Amino acid sequence: MDRKDDVQIGQREREITFLLWLMSCSGIGNMKANLCLSALGNAETVYHSSVEELSAIKYVTKRNAEEIMEQKPRITEARRTLDLCREKGVRILMPGDAEWPEMAFAEDHMPPMLFAAGKALPPDLKTNSRALIGSLDPTERQKECAVNLGMECAEKGRILIAGMDRGVSSYAQTICIKKGGSTIAVLPCGPDICYPAEHKSLYDAIRRNGTILSLWPPQVHPGRFRFRTRDELMQALATKTVWLGRPAAIRKNSSGTKEAAASG
């Protein structure tokens, strides 16, 4: 590795550190973070901006700006998170990276970063995939449909995107892996955490043969609101979404995309 490579790695780690800091600030979701990044260029500039500069950005209130400034000490936590990612074998993905996936999000709502473990995300993810969202307590028919979907994805070379949850997701992902297919587990927690815990063998198999993907860094545990956000990411990543059952945890698909599990 030459000096130029050292400089490039240093610049990237600096960029990641400040972005981790920005995303850790309470009260700053994807939309406001993206607006700040668009207006000021990068997270380091946001860090060094004044309340006046930040509050001049559309939808960023003076109170938002003050809260961002009050949370500057969190930069130390951001550095620890970066170290933890290295320790846990977690890749941090940002827009512009070769591995950054195409996603059907409005620009302002695009996640500024993703966390991945296992194999690199397939380049044809958006054009050759199925997302599965469904019942945690499936009927026999739903189990059968989930297994059929997993087998179909493996046989046709499609990527199966699911949450590794109890129920239809685990049925589909288990058979997909067994048949040599490609699957991505999108978790409602950090990518280093196996959720649910009883699916450790499935988690390990997906991390070896597929990809673990998350919106959250290591050591972030599942939270109630994170399931819906996770489901929205799965839909944004996939070519089509398959719905099998509608338990309380399932929200209506805002895009209206539905198809039978056995459909092509």
Pick 26 or 91 by higher pLDDT.
91
The span from the CA of 217 to the CA of 24, in Å, is: 10
pTM of the model: 0.89
Please name the fold of domain 3-88: DNA polymerase; domain 1 (1.10.150)
N-terminal to C-terminal alpha carbon distance within the chain = 47
Residue 2, phi then psi, degrees to nearest 5: -90, 180
pLDDT confidence tier of residue 177, bands split at 50, 70 and 90: very high
Right CATH for 116-244 from 3.40.50.450, 3.40.50.11740, 3.20.20.60, 3.90.550.10 = 3.40.50.450
* Residues whose CB is less than 8 angstroms from the CB of residue 60 and which lie 6 or more positions away in sequence, other chains included: 32, 35, 36, 54
Residue 90 pLDDT grade (very low, low, confident, very high; cuts 50, 70, 90): very high
The stretch 97-109 carries a mean pLDDT of 92
pLDDT of residue 224: 87
Q: Is the pLDDT of residue 2 over 70?
A: no
> If you ran DSSP here, which 8-state letter would residue 117 be given?
E
Domain boundaries, the chain: 3-88, 116-244
Query: Could you report the per-residue pLDDT of 187-222, keeping only the tens digit for each?
Result: 999 999 999 999 999 999 999 999 999 999 999 999
In this prediction, residues 12-37 reach a mean pLDDT of 94
What does the pLDDT read at residue 245? 87
> Does the pLDDT value for residue 4 go beyond 60?
no
Residues contacting residue 246 through CB under 8 Å, at least 6 positions apart: 135
Determine what percent of the chain falls in helix, strand and coil, rounding each to the nearest 5.
50, 10, 40
SS3 at position 38 = helix
